[in-house]
């Protein structure tokens, strides 16, 4: 196998890299014993740079183009190797191709929530994720600081480091921006550009990398905060809460009236709850320590509570107004058995003096007067 590699190296005189990957930053040209024929052809395609390294030192760098490797094209390497006459012989050198085009579809995200102070919600935790692009800006620095002797250097080998830098920069920028959580979505582009600048400051000089683009796709808050936001949005959409409660009360009474079985009981419960909520929403608390206002009369005495026997079961208690509503809806008849405190036994509703007026016959309309005729 070693002999075949040697023969292949002797015959091969073209050095090139056909990049069929999308996430390779640096690739080392494979050659038996690193021997390169003097006068070989070097092809550097657009979006690439070729770096010659000899004895651990970076010698010559080639931009895109086609070259014949000889003394005039390799001044630094010739000086290091001591070639003064450019004789026709093989030389040992490592050739690294660096990908200088943008590598897209790289993702970042905060693995843990970032704490920030929000003017509306106080201390709050947020998460974020997005995408960014990567590009080799200084191939020499990249080769010295990250690649070393690695034959192939992929973006995955540095993605964890870059994500950490982006996450730290995100926390710094968001904390200093003082933008409320509710306004984040309107500032994604502005925040993304600020984060990109901070990241570039940290990776440019140290690693020779560039971040041409960085985008924020989403900034989210914990589930309980989302529920609070939804509740606030719903309340703002309702507007007048008292009017909304009255509307709900009317709907509940309509449903109860359409349900003969247990409808009176349901109407009573819905009416009681609705009145209680409406009174709570309409009440204005008095200042602490102040005397009761003369304009607020004391609450009226509690009305009598009535119970109704329906199919051998007791329903209630109901107020006289609810009894009247049940009679009007056809859910209560004169022979329905009722009972209230102070009664010895159940009695028909039309036999109870307190309810008898509800069952009095309605007088017919008065006769229409006839005009006088002469």
Give the pLDDT confidence score for residue 150 in this predicted structure: 85
**Overall residue count recorded for the chain in this entry:** 374
Give the pLDDT confidence score for residue 130 in this predicted structure: 95
Could you report the average pLDDT of every consecutive run of 10 residues in the chain (374 residues)? 50 79 89 74 93 86 91 73 52 87 91 84 88 93 87 90 93 88 89 95 92 94 76 68 63 59 50 49 51 60 74 79 77 81 82 77 72 59
Domain boundaries, the chain: 2-18+25-99, 103-226, 242-282+304-356
Give the pLDDT confidence score for residue 318 in this predicted structure: 81
Give the pLDDT confidence score for residue 85 in this predicted structure: 46
Give the pLDDT confidence score for residue 7 in this predicted structure: 44
Give the pLDDT confidence score for residue 223 in this predicted structure: 81
Give the pLDDT confidence score for residue 288 in this predicted structure: 52
Fold entry, domain 103-226: Tetrahydropterin Synthase; Chain A (3.30.479)
Give the pLDDT confidence score for residue 33 in this predicted structure: 65
Tokens of 194: 């600020």
Task: Tell which CATH architecture fits domain 242-282+304-356.
Answer: 2-Layer Sandwich (3.30)
**Contact status, residue 140 vs residue 61, Cβ threshold 8 Å:** yes
């Amino acid at each position: 196998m070693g002999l075949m590699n040697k023969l292949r190296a002797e015959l091969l005189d073209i050095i090139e890299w056909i990049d069929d990957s999308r996430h390779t930053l640096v690739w080392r040209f494979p050659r038996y014993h690193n021997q390169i024929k003097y006068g070989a052809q070097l092809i550097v395609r657009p979006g690439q740079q070729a770096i010659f390294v000899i004895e651990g030192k970076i010698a010559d760098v080639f931009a895109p183009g086609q070259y014949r490797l000889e003394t005039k094209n390799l001044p630094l390497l010739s000086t290091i190797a001591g070639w003064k006459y450019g004789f026709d012989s093989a030389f040992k050198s490592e050739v690294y191709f660096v990908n200088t085009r943008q590598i897209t579809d790289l993702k970042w995200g905060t693995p843990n929530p970032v704490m920030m102070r929000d003017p509306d919600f106080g201390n709050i935790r947020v998460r974020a994720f997005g995408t960014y692009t990567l590009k080799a800006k200084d191939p020499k620095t990249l080769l010295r600081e990250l690649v070393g002797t690695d034959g192939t250097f992929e973006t995955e080998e540095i993605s964890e480091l870059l994500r950490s830098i982006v996450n730290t920069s995100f926390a710094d920028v968001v904390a200093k921006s003082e933008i409320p959580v509710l306004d984040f979505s309107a500032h994604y582009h502005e925040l993304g550009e600020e984060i990109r600048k901070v990241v570039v400051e940290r990776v440019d000089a140290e690693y020779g990398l560039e971040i041409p683009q960085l985008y924020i796709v989403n900034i989210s808050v914990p589930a309980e905060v989302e529920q609070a936001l939804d509740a606030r949005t719903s309340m703002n959409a309702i507007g007048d809460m008292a009017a909304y409660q009255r509307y709900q009360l009317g709907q509940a009474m309509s449903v109860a009236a359409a349900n003969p079985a247990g409808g009176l009981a349901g109407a009573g419960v819905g009416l009681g709850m609705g009145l209680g909520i409406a009174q709570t929403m309409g009440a204005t608390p008095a200042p602490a320590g102040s005397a009761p206002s003369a304009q607020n009369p004391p609450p009226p005495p509690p009305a009598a509570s009535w119970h109704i026997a329906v199919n051998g079961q007791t329903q209630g208690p109901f107020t006289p107004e609810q009894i009247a509503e049940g009679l009007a809806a056809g859910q209560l008849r004169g022979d329905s058995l009722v009972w209230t405190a102070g009664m010895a036994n159940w009695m028909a509703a039309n036999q109870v003096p307190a309810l008898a007026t509800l069952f009095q016959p309605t007088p017919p309309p008065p006769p229409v007067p006839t005009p006088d005729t002469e």
